[in-house]
Structure formats: C-alpha cells, structure tokens
C-alpha cells in the first residue's frame, strides 16, 4: 500500500520548470511512443526542420518507431520570469549510442509547458554531461523600462511568434531572453540565444547545424 501511494505521488509531481518538462517529454517518448510524445508536448505552432523549417503538426510521422531515441537536458537558459527556456543536451539513438545534441525552446502558458522549436545537430567533440542540468537564469534587474532587446531586435506582437519560413524569432514577455534562427537554401541552420545579464544582452548559445548528409 505504501509503495502504491509513493508511486502515485511520484506520478503526480507537477511539471514546474522547462527541465522538468524536458525530462517528462523524454520519459513519454519511451512510454507512449516517440512521435506521440512529440505531438503531446508540442505547441500548435511548433517548428521542426526537415532540414527546411516546417510546422511540426504537418510533418511529424504518425507512426512511432519500435523504440524511441533518448535525451536529457544538460543546460537550460531561462528568462527572468521563468516562463521561457531554451534547453540543450545530448541525445542517444535507439541502441544507446551518442547521436549528437538537441536544442528545444519551451514556453509556459497557464502552468503548462509546450515546446515551440526543436532542433539540434550532430556530435562535434565531447557532449555536455547531462546527469544534472545546469540552469542559467537571466538577470532580473538593471534593464531600463522599455529598453529593446538587441540582438535579436525588438518584436511586434505579430513577429513574436516563430514562423515556418526561412527564419524566425521569439522572446520572453519580460524581454530577458530572446532567440532567432535561420535556415539557408542549402539547409544550414543557425540558432542564437540571448540573455539579459544586468547591463547588456549576451549570446549564451549558438548552434550552427550543417545540412544532412
């Protein structure tokens, strides 16, 4: 009885952070199927790359593979308000061999987390350790009211949503975390992530992903 109660309590643990969401997402991939989990955790306008940008809802496969890949967050770059985060870390193929790294942009709405950008690249040198995710939160103070985030530049409400074209941008509501991405015609993709550090915006993550071979 006690074991059953403990298991129920563990299952009911709330998803408080983007790291929690990433880990639960990865667990769901093993439990309910890889692409089923991707669809479950995706925001309606989530973007993936084929290698060109596409709506996840349009291109995610309907059938799950017999076994899912696995992954774990190593770093999480979080806005001051804690509602937007960019996670990155290693992933492994179905046989458990290193496959490369992933990068996922998460946003929280009404206490629920959903990913809006999923990308990554091949392994290049040692991958970051993922046993304990390191959380890097943006500085909350020091920025004059209304100061634009630069780079990326300030966004209008319409621009503040990622679009499935050759480039996209986004930022947190408190403007302490911003990102942009671009895919060229050859399929080379670049992602930049910027955080407010008290006196200026600093590029904290830069992915340059080659086209698939």
SS3 (DSSP) at 35 = helix
The tokens describing 137, both together, are 């939160």
Range(s) of the domain holding residue 196: 16-209
User: What b/e sequence results for 53-69 when a residue is b if at least 16 CB atoms lie within 10 Å of its CB, and e otherwise?
Assistant: bebbeeebeeeeeeebb
Question: Residue 3: inside a domain, yes or no?
Answer: no
Q: What is the pTM of this model?
A: 0.85
How far does Cα 26 stand from its chain's mean position?
12
Contact 32, 40 (CB under 8 A): yes
Question: Residue 1: inside a domain, yes or no?
Answer: no
Number of folded domains in the chain?
A: 1
Question: Residue 172: inside a domain, yes or no?
Answer: yes
Walking along the chain (213 residues) 10 residues at a time, the average pLDDT comes out as 44 79 97 98 94 94 97 96 95 94 94 94 71 90 60 51 72 90 91 92 93 83
Question: Residue 42: inside a domain, yes or no?
Answer: yes
Question: Residue 165: inside a domain, yes or no?
Answer: yes
Question: Residue 173: inside a domain, yes or no?
Answer: yes
Tell me, what's the pLDDT at 94?
Answer: 95
Question: Residue 8: inside a domain, yes or no?
Answer: no
Tell me, what's the pLDDT at 185?
Answer: 87
Beta carbons within 8 Å of 180's beta carbon, 6+ residues apart: 151, 152, 167, 168, 169, 170, 191, 192
Question: Residue 124: inside a domain, yes or no?
Answer: yes
- CATH code of residue 51: 3.10.450.50
DSSP string, 75-106: EEEE-TTSSEEEEEEEEE-TTS-EEEEEEEEE
């Amino acid at each position: 009885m006690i074991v059953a109660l403990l298991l129920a309590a563990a299952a009911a643990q709330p998803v408080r952070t983007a790291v929690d969401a990433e880990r639960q997402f990865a667990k769901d991939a093993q439990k309910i199927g890889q692409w089923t989990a991707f669809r479950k955790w995706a925001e309606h306008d989530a973007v993936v790359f084929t290698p060109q940008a596409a709506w996840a809802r349009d291109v995610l496969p309907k059938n799950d593979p017999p076994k899912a890949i696995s992954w774990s967050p190593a770093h999480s770059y979080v806005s001051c308000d804690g509602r937007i985060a960019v996670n990155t870390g290693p992933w492994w193929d179905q046989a458990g061999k290193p496959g490369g790294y992933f990068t996922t942009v998460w946003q929280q709405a009404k206490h629920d987390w959903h990913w809006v950008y999923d990308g990554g690249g091949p392994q290049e040198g040692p991958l970051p350790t993922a046993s304990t995710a390191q959380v890097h939160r943006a500085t909350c103070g020091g920025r004059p009211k209304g100061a634009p985030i630069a780079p990326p530049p300030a966004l209008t409400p319409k621009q503040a949503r990622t679009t499935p074209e050759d480039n996209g941008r986004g930022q947190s509501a408190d403007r302490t975390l911003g990102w942009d991405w671009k895919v060229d015609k050859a399929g080379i993709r670049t992602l930049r992530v910027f955080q407010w550090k008290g006196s200026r915006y600093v590029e904290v993550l830069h992915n340059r992903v080659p086209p698939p071979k």
